[in-house]
Structure formats: structure tokens, C-alpha cells
Amino acid sequence: MSQCMVGWSHTKFGKLESETLESLIVRTSAEAIAHAGLEPKDIDQIFIGTMNAGMDPQGFPSSLALQTHPDLRFKPSTCVENACATGSAAIHQGINAIAAKRARFVLVVGVEKMTAISSAEVGNCLLKASYVREEGGLPGGFVGVFGRIAEQYFQRYGDQSEALAHIAAKNHKNGSHNPLAHVQKDLGLDFCRGGESNPKVAGPLRRTDCSMVSDGAAAVVLSDTETAFYMPQVVKFRAAIQVNDFLPLSKRDIIAFEGPAVAWKKALDAAHVKLDDLDFVETHDCFTIAELIEYEAMGLVPPGQGALAILEGWTEMGGRLPVNPSGGLKAKGHPIGATGVSMHVLSAMQLTGTAGGIQVPNARLAGLFNMGGAAVANFVSILEPLR
């Protein structure tokens, strides 16, 4: 591939009461363009990734990026949505525009404002990422979807509560070192195992097994390799793969995560690397059970043995393959449209040695997996520094 990230920006994730959808878009747009060493007039196309689904009254946000600077006026800007993989879908649109030579520099912003409505209303919005005809009545909404996945996994492979607690504890420990994270606190393994203050919320899933409702935004500027070569910081896509699966849970073996497995295989093949070549992975831990099954989908362990990777410490910082050094969605937060772009930004920071307290030493090759719905829209990127 010949597409690169040449600039990026990232807000803190959390309950950002002073921010609006517009202010988040404008701030990250300005910061990403400046980080790339460009002027707003240099941007050729814009893609805004947001799921929204009723979380914000502004349902048509694509031109809000033009508020960043008068020189963005009349630039083509398009809104992209693909459930929880919205951010990666927006990046793919930017990659495609560059590959088609329709643009030299593309601005991509992933954004979500979720906390201005009630938790129940957020739950109703998120449930739209499921097959509503069959799954809309599940207790607990979208949490209930993954509660059912966890139940089925436990039925097939045994109780994995200890492994899920270790995943939650790992990600919160990592997130405690990430100044951009929603939750910057090491909760500890004992707390994540359960108790009165950490009850079950859906099936075997506890509160600490579920990602946060968050506000936030992240942005990247994309370009082609030839243009990017002499720019200050450049991270290249070795692969960028999208694989979609059936939407209804009833049409597939949901705990097999076949779509993610296909996406990982295609990405590793396209990049001409093996999983063991990667220095770290940022993966879509919307729920801890998702991260557990994703260990299997990426090929780290065989099906049913996801617990081995976490209980043996393979995915810890300093382990065989650190997973979610950022704290993941679990600690960092999950503003839906921002998540995929956030994964790319944080991976770019790792690969340019600018990740601060969450830095993986000497990171040169990154993998990331962003998932829309329950293993429905699956995106894998393999990234490396250009030089």
C-alpha cells in the first residue's frame, strides 16, 4: 500500500461537559492539520466518522469541519457510519480517495458526543448496532448481546470469569498511564473479580467487563507515500482490510468470531508478516469477552484457549504480544465514532516513539482491530514507520 498518516490529534476521552460535537471536530481538525505541518488550504477531502444514532441532535455533521478555518470552505466533506467501526471506515474512505488519486491530503475525524443523554437512551442508540428484529428485545441492550456471547462461550469452554477479570485489570493498569484515557486508575485484579461495587450487569459480565460511555474525538491526515516521504512524522499502512459478516447472531457461530479471523489473516498476508512479528496490538475490547475471543481470532491461541494468553501474561506490557497498551476501550473509553481513529492515532504515537507513559519500547510494527457490532464490520490495519 502507498498510503500514510502524516499528522494526528486526539482529545482526552471522558465526560466532556464543555465540549460539543462541533467543538470536538473543530479542535481535532485544527490540531491534526498543524501536526502534519500543513495549512487548511492543503486539505483536498474530509471524512467525518460518527455513529450518532440519536445521541446528538446534530444528525448532519459533515460540514462542521469547515468551521475550523475559512480555507476549508467548499472542500468536499462526507459523513461515514459503520457502527463501532465507524472511525476505521472513515479512514478507509480516505485511503481510497488517495489511491484513486482524487486527493493528495485527506482529513479524517472520528467523533462522538454520548454523555449528554441518559444511560438508557445511549443503550437504545447502541442497540441499533445489532440485528434489531431478533436481538432488539435482549435484556440489557447491546450489553445483553455480549452477555449472551459470554454465556455461550462459557458453556462451550468453561467458566472464564478469572480470565475476564485479568483482562479488565490489565487494561485499567495500562490506562492509568494514559493521560487521554477516560479512566486513569489501576483498579486491581481483586476489584475486577467482582463484589458489591462491581456487580454482574448481563450474563457473566460485570461492570468492569464493559467499556465506558464517553465523549471524544481523534483525527488523522492521510497522504500518499511519495508526498509523505519528507514530512516530519510518517506512519505507513502495510495493510488495511475490511471484512463484513452477517448481521444476525442466528446466522453464525457467534463465539467463533469468523469475520475477525478472516480480516486478521487477510491483513497479515497482505502485509507479508506473521502475528509474532508485531510489537503490539490495539484491539476492540468493547467488552472483556471480546478481547478474549479476539486473541483466538488473531491466531495468538487456538479456539477456546483465549484464557491462556492473558493468564500466562502474554498480552501484558512486556509480554510476548502487548495488547491494548493504551488501556483499550475498557479504560480509554469508547466514543463510538472516535474509536477506530483513536486506535490509529495511538498506534502512530507508539511507532514514532511519542506515546509517553504507555510506550512499548522500540515498537516498529503494529496491528489493530476495530469491530462494528458483534463481529460484523471488521477492520484490521498493519502499520509501520515509513523510515
Active-site option among 4, 79, 84, 210: 84
Structurally, the chain folds into a number of domains equal to: 1
Cβ neighbours of 63 (radius 10 Å): 16
Is 4 one of the annotated active-site residues of the chain? no
pLDDT, one tens digit per residue, over 233-248 is 999 999 999 999 999 9
Cell of 368: 489493530
Indicate whether 386 belongs to any domain: no
What is residue 137's predicted lDDT score, i.e. its pLDDT?
85
Give the integer Cα–Cα distance in Å for 90 and 78. 9
pTM: 0.98
pLDDT, one tens digit per residue, over 56-101 is 999 999 999 999 999 999 999 999 999 999 999 999 999 999 999 9
Do the Cβ atoms of 192 and 165 come closer than 8 Å?
A: yes
What is residue 107's predicted lDDT score, i.e. its pLDDT?
98
Q: What proportion of the chain, given as a percentage, has pLDDT over 70?
A: 100
Indicate whether 184 belongs to any domain: yes
Indicate whether 158 belongs to any domain: yes
Reported residue count of the chain is 387
Give the integer Cα–Cα distance in Å for 53 and 197. 31
How far is residue 309 CA from its own chain's centroid? 21
Give the integer Cα–Cα distance in Å for 254 and 267. 21
Indicate whether 136 belongs to any domain: yes
pLDDT, one tens digit per residue, over 153-207 is 999 999 999 999 999 999 999 999 999 999 999 999 999 999 999 999 999 999 9
Indicate whether 137 belongs to any domain: yes
Indicate whether 205 belongs to any domain: yes
Biggest alpha carbon–alpha carbon distance for the chain = 59
Instruction: Place 365 in a pLDDT band, splitting at 50, 70 and 90.
Output: very high
Instruction: Place 141 in a pLDDT band, splitting at 50, 70 and 90.
Output: confident
Cβ neighbours of 271 (radius 10 Å): 23
The domain of 153 spans 131-209
Q: Helices (H), strands (E): how many in the chain?
A: 13, 11
Is 182 one of the annotated active-site residues of the chain? no
Paired strand residues for 371? 378
Active-site option among 35, 166, 334, 344: 334
Indicate whether 185 belongs to any domain: yes
Do the Cβ atoms of 272 and 132 come closer than 8 Å?
A: no
Indicate whether 202 belongs to any domain: yes
pLDDT, one tens digit per residue, over 248-303 is 999 999 999 999 999 999 999 999 999 999 999 999 999 999 999 999 999 999 99
